[in-house]
C-alpha cells in the first residue's frame, strides 16, 4: 500500500503543469497543499526556501519551478538559466534533506538529451554528449538533477525521484510571443489573425515531428509517481504520439475556423531538430498509463484560450520572462 503524503508543497504552481496539478489536487480532499509562485518565494535564495519549509513542514514536494521558454530566451540568457535552475535544484534538495521531507519529485526535460543521441531517447543516454547549443544552459542545469538524485539518495537516504516530461501544452500555457513554446505561440497567433486574410507564415518546412503531452495527463502522472514510484532511475513520462509541425498548425487552424490555405511555410528558415522521440517504456511497464490523444487535448486548450481571451484576458500569461541580467527566480 502506498504511503499517504498529507502535506504537499508544489513549486511553479502558476505555469502550465503547475496549474494542471492545482486542478488535479481537487480530487485529493484528504491532503493539504501549498502552491507556490515566484511572488511567494524566491527559490534561488536558500534562506527564503528554508523559511518556507520550516513554516509548512511538507511531507512531500513536487518541484516544477524552472526558468524555461523558447529558443530566444535560452540563447540570450544561458548563464542566467544555468545559474537559477541549479540554485533552485539544490536549495530544494537541501531543505528537503534538513526538514525530513518524505518524498521529493524533481522535474527534468527531454531538451537535456544530446541532439545526436539514438532515437527514441532513452534515460540511459542522458549524459552521452553535449546538449544542443541553443539551450545548453538550461539543459545542463536540468541534466545535473540526475546525478543530484543519485548523490542525495546515496549519502543522505533522501527519497527523491526524477520525472522527464516531453513538450507540455494545455490550459494556462505561456502565450507570450517572445518566449512561448510552439503550440501556445501558434494558438495565439492564429486566434489574433483569424478575422484577416493575410498569410500566416510559419518557420521551416513543417516536416519536423514533435511529441506534446497534455498537461492534465502529466498532473495525473505526478500523483501516480508520488504514490507509486520510489526508485532513483529517472523516468521519461511524456507521450510517444508524434505530430508534424505542419499537422499541428493545420489542426489549430481548423479548430479556429481559419482557411488552411492561409498557412504558409517559410522553407528559407531553419527546421530545427527533425525528430526527438522518447522512449517511455520504463514508465509504461510500471503504470500502464493512458494518454489523452493530442487532438483532444489541443481542442480543450484552444477552447480554454478562446473563452479566456474573450472574457478574462488578464488571466492569460502574456508577460515576457526576459528581464535582462536579473534572476528569473522560479519562473514556471
- Domains of the chain with bracketed CATH: 7-315 (3.40.50.720)
The pLDDT confidence band at residue 68, using thresholds 50, 70 and 90, is confident
pLDDT in tens, 187-212: 999 999 999 999 999 999 999 999 99
Residue 326 has pLDDT above 80, yes or no: no
pLDDT in tens, 269-305: 888 788 999 999 999 999 999 999 999 999 999 999 9
Q: How far is CA 112 from CA 83, 138, 145, 180, 182, in A?
A: 15, 8, 11, 18, 18
Please name which of 332, 329, 331, 319 lies closest in space to residue 83, comparing C-alpha atoms: 329
Please name which of 55, 121, 141 lies closest in space to residue 273, comparing C-alpha atoms: 121
pTM over 0.85: yes
Please name which of 63, 127, 124, 129 lies closest in space to residue 95, comparing C-alpha atoms: 63
| CB within 8 Å of 151: residues ≥ 6 apart | none
Assess contact for 53 and 102: CB atoms under 8 A. no
pLDDT in tens, 118-166: 999 999 999 999 998 888 999 999 999 999 999 999 999 999 999 999 9
Question: Grid coordinates standing for 264?
Answer: 504558409
Amino acid at each position: 500500500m502506498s504511503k499517504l503524503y498529507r502535506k504537499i508543497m508544489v513549486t511553479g504552481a502558476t505555469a502550465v503543469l503547475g496549474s494542471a496539478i492545482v486542478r488535479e489536487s481537487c480530487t485529493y480532499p484528504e491532503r493539504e497543499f501549498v502552491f507556490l509562485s515566484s511572488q511567494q518565494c524566491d527559490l534561488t535564495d536558500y534562506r527564503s526556501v528554508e523559511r518556507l519549509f520550516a513554516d509548512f513542514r511538507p511531507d512531500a514536494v513536487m518541484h516544477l519551478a524552472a526558468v524555461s521558454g523558447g529558443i530566444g530566451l535560452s540563447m540570450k540568457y544561458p548563464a542566467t538559466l544555468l545559474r537559477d535552475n541549479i540554485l533552485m535544484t539544490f536549495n530544494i534538495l537541501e531543505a528537503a534533506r534538513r526538514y525530513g521531507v518524505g518524498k521529493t519529485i524533481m522535474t527534468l526535460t527531454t531538451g537535456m538529451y544530446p541532439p545526436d543521441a539514438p532515437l527514441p531517447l532513452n534515460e540511459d543516454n542522458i549524459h552521452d554528449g553535449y546538449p544542443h547549443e541553443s539551450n545548453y544552459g538550461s539543459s545542463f542545469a536540468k541534466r545535473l538533477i540526475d546525478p543530484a538524485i543519485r548523490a542525495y539518495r546515496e549519502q543522505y537516504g533522501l527519497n527523491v525521484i526524477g520525472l522527464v516530461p516531453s513538450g507540455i501544452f494545455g490550459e494556462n500555457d505561456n502565450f507570450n510571443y517572445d518566449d512561448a513554446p510552439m503550440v501556445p505561440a501558434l494558438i495565439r497567433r492564429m486566434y489574433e489573425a483569424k478575422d484577416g486574410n493575410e498569410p500566416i507564415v510559419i518557420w521551416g518546412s513543417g516536416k519536423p515531428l514533435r511529441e506534446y503531452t497534455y498537461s492534465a495527463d502529466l498532473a495525473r502522472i505526478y500523483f501516480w509517481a508520488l504514490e507509486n514510484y520510489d526508485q532513483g532511475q529517472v523516468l521519461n513520462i511524456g507521450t510517444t504520439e508524434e505530430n508534424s509541425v505542419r499537422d499541428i498548425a493545420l489542426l489549430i487552424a481548423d479548430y479556429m475556423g481559419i482557411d488552411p490555405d492561409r498557412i504558409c511555410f517559410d522553407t528559407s528558415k531553419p527546421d530545427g531538430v527533425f525528430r526527438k522521440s522518447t522512449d517511455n517504456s520504463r514508465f509504461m511497464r510500471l503504470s500502464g498509463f493512458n494518454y489523452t490523444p493530442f487532438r483532444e487535448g489541443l481542442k480543450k486548450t484552444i477552447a480554454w484560450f478562446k473563452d479566456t481571451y474573450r472574457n478574462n484576458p488578464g488571466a492569460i500569461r502574456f508577460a515576457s520572462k526576459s528581464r535582462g541580467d536579473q534572476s528569473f527566480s522560479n519562473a514556471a
